[in-house]
Structures are given as C-alpha cells and as structure tokens.
Amino acid sequence: MAETIKVLIPEKDVDERIEALGKKISEDYAGKQIHMICVLKGGVFFMCELAKRISVPVSLDFMCVSSYGDATSSSGVVRIAKDLDESIEGKEVLIVEDIIDSGRTLAYLIEVLKKRNPKSVHLCTLLDKPERREKEVQVDYVGFEIPDEFVVGYGLDYAQKYRNLPYIGVVEGLE
C-alpha cells in the first residue's frame, strides 16, 4: 500500500515560525557570532532558512549523526557518519536539528561537542516530540511541539523520500 501525506503544519506557518525563531536567536546572541552546526541530512532545510533570518554573524558546519537508517523508529545506536570540518573551541555553538524524538541522538551529540570546549552549546529544533523523550535534553529554541506521529517534509524523510515538501506532513498508510 502506498503512503499518503496529510498536512500537519502548513508552509505559511513553518515560514512564520522560522522568522520568529530567527528574531529571538538574533536578540539572544546580540553582539556575538553564532557557529551553527547542522545535523544532516534533515536539518539542512531548516538551518538554511533559519540562518537567512538571523541578523548576527553566523558560520556554518555540518555533522551527520544517525540512529534511524531507513526505519521509522530509532535503533538506539548513535553513530557519527560525518564529523565537523573545523574546531568549535571557544565558539558560541547552536546545534540545529530538524526533529527531537527520543533525545538519545542529541544527548550523545551534546556530550561529544561539550568535550571540544565551545564557549556555549545551545539547541534549536524545528519539531519537538516531548512525549517520546527517553533522554532529557535542554531545548533552547523550538519551532513546533508535535504529537507522536511519523512526519515528513522540510528536510524530514521516509526512506529518503518527501524531504523537499515545503510543509510538515504526517505519513499515513505505513504498516
């Protein structure tokens, strides 16, 4: 059976919320430079839109950290597939994530990054599923809190499909 996508958060709402997050982050980091770390692959859509809306200087880097593969639930095994290209020592780090689910991946990533002596580490996510949390993580900036449903769009995928949707949708028809 083919899956169908039901709109959960329309494109207009996503754009407005990213605009508000960019303004808040700009205020919080006034007079500073932010080193944004995107968690690939899903976070890249969100980070690009967010970075355009931040008025303080930003630099960008990327990590690929995974615990999903092609599954719809976390395997629990976190692995770094691509590490940072430059040092974060002494930098104001903002991790940019597409979604926080169990919290295991982000808890692991934050622990790894803090050992690299940044000035600060904060976390921004487009989507948060707090009812699924298994590991507590401090989320500083949240786009939307969503129910425990499998979502796609705006960088989030199902078996590498649907990342390019300009809205957040719920996948229906999954077995």
Q: Catalytic residue numbers?
A: 101
**55: closest CA among 16, 37, 28, 15?**
28
Distance separating alpha carbons of residues 68 and 159, to the nearest angstrom: 10
**163: closest CA among 1, 75, 41?**
41
Strand order, beta sheet including 92-100: 79-82, 58-66, 34-40, 92-100, 120-128, 141-145
Tokens of 95: 């991790």
